[in-house]
Amino acid sequence: MLPSHHLGAALLVVGPPDSGKSVLSHALFRALLPEYPDVFLQRAQWDGEGNWTLELPESATAADREAFKLFYKGGLTAGFFPYQAQAILQLRRRKPLVIVDVGGRVQPEKVPILEACSHYLVLSSKLREVKQWHEFCGDRGNLSPLAVIHSRMALT
């Protein structure tokens, strides 16, 4: 637990849909966990794609993964992002790093999430959309940029 006057960092992982944000967030979390067991991955979205879909056995089919996503998928409510923002702030009081996966659209409803985070990383498969994320997170949210990573979907 961190001293009461100190907040840990919160890294917001953003970018357009289908750029690999959930996969990168999960991979970063798993890579850091052995050396930094206090790291936390917060899924601040309702698309149903949580760690459970990424940790299914290799034998799981695309249909299996989609079934898990649909089972856990929720919907946007007026209180969703404010609730997530409060959860992130509480986590920052206890954890040195919170990785936040927020989904792939710039939306004014996400401003409470911006206010709860400290840094952002843009992962984008669409180069032309990087600027809007800098404007949203950097200019509007006053978050510090950590990196821009250009991604490409590959068949495995």
Average of per-residue pLDDT values in the chain: 87
Between the alpha carbon of residue 55 and those of residues 20, 49, 153, the distances in Å are 15, 11, 19
- What does the alpha-carbon distance between residue 74 and residue 92 come to, in Å, rounded to a whole number? 25
Q: What is the mean pLDDT of residues 82-106?
A: 96
- What does the alpha-carbon distance between residue 148 and residue 127 come to, in Å, rounded to a whole number? 10
Domain range list for the chain: 9-45+80-150
Residue 3 is predicted with a pLDDT of 59
Q: Is residue 144 within a helix (H) or strand (E), and if so which, with residue range?
A: strand 144-150
The tokens for 74 are 């929720």
Q: What is the pLDDT of residues 110-143, one digit of tens each?
A: 999 999 999 999 999 999 999 999 999 999 999 9
Confidence of residue 108 (pLDDT cuts 50, 70, 90): very high
Residue 14 is predicted with a pLDDT of 97
Residue 111 is predicted with a pLDDT of 96
**Sign of CA pseudo-dihedral 84, 131, 144, 17:** positive
Q: Is residue 48 within a helix (H) or strand (E), and if so which, with residue range?
A: none
Residue 78 is predicted with a pLDDT of 82
pTM value is: 0.83
**Domain spanning 9-45+80-150: CATH superfamily:** P-loop containing nucleotide triphosphate hydrolases (3.40.50.300)
Residue 4 is predicted with a pLDDT of 58
Between the alpha carbon of residue 38 and those of residues 33, 41, 44, 48, the distances in Å are 7, 10, 18, 24
Judge whether residue 37 has pLDDT over 70.
Answer: yes
